[in-house]
Every structure is written in C-alpha cells, then in structure tokens.
Chains A and B, each alone.
Chain A
Amino acid sequence: MSDILVKIHRAAPYGMITLRGDLSSTALQKAATDAAGVAFPETGMCVFEGKSGLSWMSPDELLVLMPHDQIQSTLAQIEKALNSTHFLAADVSDARAMFTITGPHWRDVLAKLTPADVHPDSFQQGHFRRTRLAQVPVAFWQSSADTVTLICFRSVADYVEGLLVNAGRAKSNADYF
C-alpha cells in the first residue's frame, strides 16, 4: 500500500531469557557468552550473531535472545554453568512481543513516539536503548541499515502496533532524518 512509510512486522514468538546477577563476574559472563554464542555486550549495547544475541538491560541484568525452540536447552545450560552462584535466569518469552520496523524512515517513525535520541550520531547499530514508546516501556536496537527491532510487553503489543502503524503512515512523514 502506498500509504505505508515503513513496514511493520510483528515477529513470531522469540526466545528471551532474563539473566540477573553480577555482570562483572567472569562465571556469569562466560555462562552468558557460551549460551548465546556471542561476545559480552558493553554497557548499553547489544551483540547479535544470526538469531542469538545478548543485550545489556541494566547493571545487573542481561537479556539473552535465541530462537524459540532453543529456550529450554539454553536455560538448562545457563543454570548448569552458574550452579552454586547467586543468579536468576527466567524464561520471559511469553511476556514479550517483538516488532521489526523496516524502511529508510524508521528513525522518523520512532522519533514521533519516543523521547530517546534516535539521531544517527547517537543511535547506531550495536546500541540497545530501553525507553518509552508513547505510554509504555520498550527497548529497541538497529538490526540492519534500514531495520530496527523493538520489544515490548505482550500485554501492550496491540497498543504498540497501533502506535507504529499510525506513526508510519506515509502522509505523516516528518522526513527529518
């Protein structure tokens, strides 16, 4: 349809594990990198390779992303690796929804809805930004040159989809970025 500025796609269920603990501990770092098969992310960043990745959520929290059918094996692997240390690993896949927003104007669409700075100078590939989309918390990262991936709570997924579709109408293009 010509009215659409960016393509908004609600992704199929995706595997997400919340891993909380001391992020400076080598045991936890090793467990996380072994589980996801990627390098450990720096503060405010995320690392992806293929369909698996690690995202820095807070000073004591990581989000491990993986295909939906690998949740149980990854969870078991983390629990085995961190056995006897203080940590929490929980499957949060069912609590979350994921969207991809594709098109050269994705920054314009996001900027209408979030207070986060999405200018190319401050938000690039590798950055992981937790923020607010209109009235609900979300996190997003740039997954390719013209695609941004966004996660939110599943309970507000319909609301988020409505926001994105509305902000993504061609006639409402701010064309700022």
Chain B
Amino acid sequence: MLILTCPYCGVAADETELTPGGEAHLTRETVGADDAAFEGYLFKRENPKGVHFERWRHAYGCGKWFHAARCTVTLEVFGTYPAQTTEPPKDIRDKITAKRPGWSWRDFG
C-alpha cells in the first residue's frame, strides 16, 4: 500500500484517496515542435526499476495535483512536492542520492 503525504494539506493519503497522473515533468510539445519531440511527448515514457517521479492528484481530499518521488521496487517514498515546478527540487534529489547512490532518471541524478 502506497501512502503519500499531500504537500498542500499535509494529509497522509492512502493510495485509494489519490488519482494517479502518470509520469512527472513532461514537457508539453506543441505548435512548432518537430515530429521526434512530439512523439516523445506523446509516447515515450520512463519505465524504471527504482527511482521514479510521478504526478498524483489528491482526489478525495483537497483536489490538488502534486509530485511524488518514490522507488518502484520497494514502494519507498522519498518525498512529495508541489506541482508548480518543472524539475525535482534539490532537497528531494539529495534525499534520493543519500538512499540510492548513483541513481538516474531521465537527465537527473
């Protein structure tokens, strides 16, 4: 069972109170993007064994979207952070580095 703490209301929300929103920090390619970039935006997703960044919505609570960093193998949650960012904040990345040295996810790590 996955329990994520909503960064907006501070509630430790059970997985069933949340709506999954897929991979985090996607760049939305739009008018003017070349085909490869658009294909990447539409179809290319990470499928990591280990550190992963995801979007979640606190659907049965405050209703806000937020980000979560977790391990797909152990379900360990490294941290959650608000949605108003385009990359994982430094404190979250430092926490992951402390627990999973040598991790990488897309261009991070």
Chain A interface (Cβ < 8 Å from any Cβ of B):
43-44, 56-59, 61, 115-117, 129-132, 137
Contacts and interface: CB of A to CB of B under 8 A. Distances in A.
B9 A59 contact: yes
A129 B60 CA distance: 10
A58 B64 CA distance: 8
A131 B63 CA distance: 11
Interface residues of B, number: 14
B9 A115 contact: no
Contacts of B12: 117
Contact of B60 (A56, A57, A130): A130
A117 B64 CA distance: 20
B106 to A, nearest CB: 29
10 contacts: A44-B10, A58-B8, A58-B61, A58-B64, A59-B62, A129-B11, A130-B11, A130-B60, A131-B17, A132-B16
Given A115-B14, A131-B17, A43 B9 contact: yes
B8 A59 contact: yes
Contacts, number: 41
Given A59-B62, A115-B13, A137-B60, 7 more contacts: A44-B9, A44-B11, A58-B9, A59-B8, A116-B14, A130-B11, A131-B13
Contacts of A131: 11, 13, 17, 60-61
A132 B16 CA distance: 8
A56 B8 CA distance: 11
Contacts of A43: 9-10
Contacts of A116: 11, 14, 17
B62 A58 contact: yes
